Homo-oligomer: A and B are copies of this chain.
Amino acid sequence: MAEAMQATEHQHSYIHNNTKADYLKRLRRIEGQARGLQRMVEEEQYCIDILTQVSAMTKALQSVALGLLDEHMTHCVVDAARHGGPEAEVKIKEASEAIARLVRS
């Protein structure tokens, strides 16, 4: 029973309450960048300027991803390792696959 709860708990996000508001703020800004890009395309602004905005938005997204990954490893991976058992291996495999997707995207 405790085991099952532990497993369920691990599926929760490990975003701290004080950083959650920060992530939401950054994602709202990224949403605004997506709207800004639509306006630039709508107004047929210069392609190179649109591409500059796409690069800035990609960097902002990557930065959010790296922050989330760091929190995930600090909490979820470390907790699983301390808890012992095969859970840690599963968590590392999952994290490695997420990192591979980030590196290749």
Contact = CB atoms under 8 A, between A and B. Distances in A.
B28 A31 contact: no
A interface secondary structure, majority: helix
A62 B101 CA distance: 11
A47 B73 CA distance: 10
Contact of A69 (B42, B51, B78): B51
23 contacts: A11-B46, A13-B40, A13-B46, A13-B47, A14-B47, A15-B41, A15-B47, A24-B38, A30-B34, A31-B34, A47-B69, A47-B71, A48-B72, A52-B101, A54-B65, A57-B61, A62-B103, A66-B96, A66-B99, A69-B96, A77-B92, A99-B99, A103-B103
